[in-house]
Amino acid sequence: MKPEFSVSLMCMDFLDIKHQIEILDQNMDGYHIDIMDGHYCKNITLSPDFMKACARMAKKPMDVHLMTTNPNDWIDACAAAGAAMISPHAETINTDCFRTLNRIRDAGCQVGVTLNPATPLSYCKHYLNRIDVLTLMTVDVGFAGQPFITEILDKIAEAKRLREENGWHYKIMIDGSCNKKTFKRLYEAGADVFILGSSGLFSLDVDLQTACDKMKAQFEEETGVKP
């Protein structure tokens, strides 16, 4: 499977949104939209209104990461704003997960689910056959720039093994500290989609096109795979 790259827009320069999206459209596979409610994690980031503005110019799909205590409050608004895929946290949907996953599908979006670093894969094992994307956090939720949690590599490998043994089809997406220092380990463990933020993209150069070129060169250098 060819590696894919989704850009975390919470890390972009908000004074230069239009120009940056024009560049990212030419270099990346999608946009990662972090929605935090200030309750599930102590931060507030993007919103469905922000998504609507981006959808007017972005040519690549938006995937939504719901870091919210009540994800069902956000599904319809995010779908209406242009989400291609919506991922609530497994930890927030345990009491009504099948209704929630069905609601995302009925809204016309691909279905994802996200696991915090300390949450075992077994927590969502009984519905892995129903999802399109499994997002594994390699940092704790809430803030960009956190250090990589190496213990997650075993979880990535386990997710890949379960997918192969059962014939499931979900992609394995990695959220947190995807950069030159981790590309090789993540790719070899089984990652399919890499979410790029500050360390993996935006801090590489003040010129975003140059930063994109550097990221691609770093990924190929570390993994031997051309993006």
Q: Is the pTM of this model over 0.85?
A: yes
72/70 Cα distance (integer angstroms): 6
What pLDDT score does 144 carry? 63
Considering its fold, how many domains does the chain have in total?
1
Q: Confirm whether 34 is a catalytic residue.
A: yes
Segments in the chain below pLDDT 50: none
User: Is 76 annotated in the active site?
Assistant: no
Q: What is the CATH number of the domain that holds 157?
A: 3.20.20.70
List, for residues 16-41, the tens digit of each pLDDT value: 999 999 999 999 999 999 999 989 88
What is the domain extent for residue 103?
4-223
Residue of 25, 63, 106, 175 marked active site:
175
pLDDT score recorded for residue 145: 59
Q: What is the pLDDT of residue 1?
A: 79
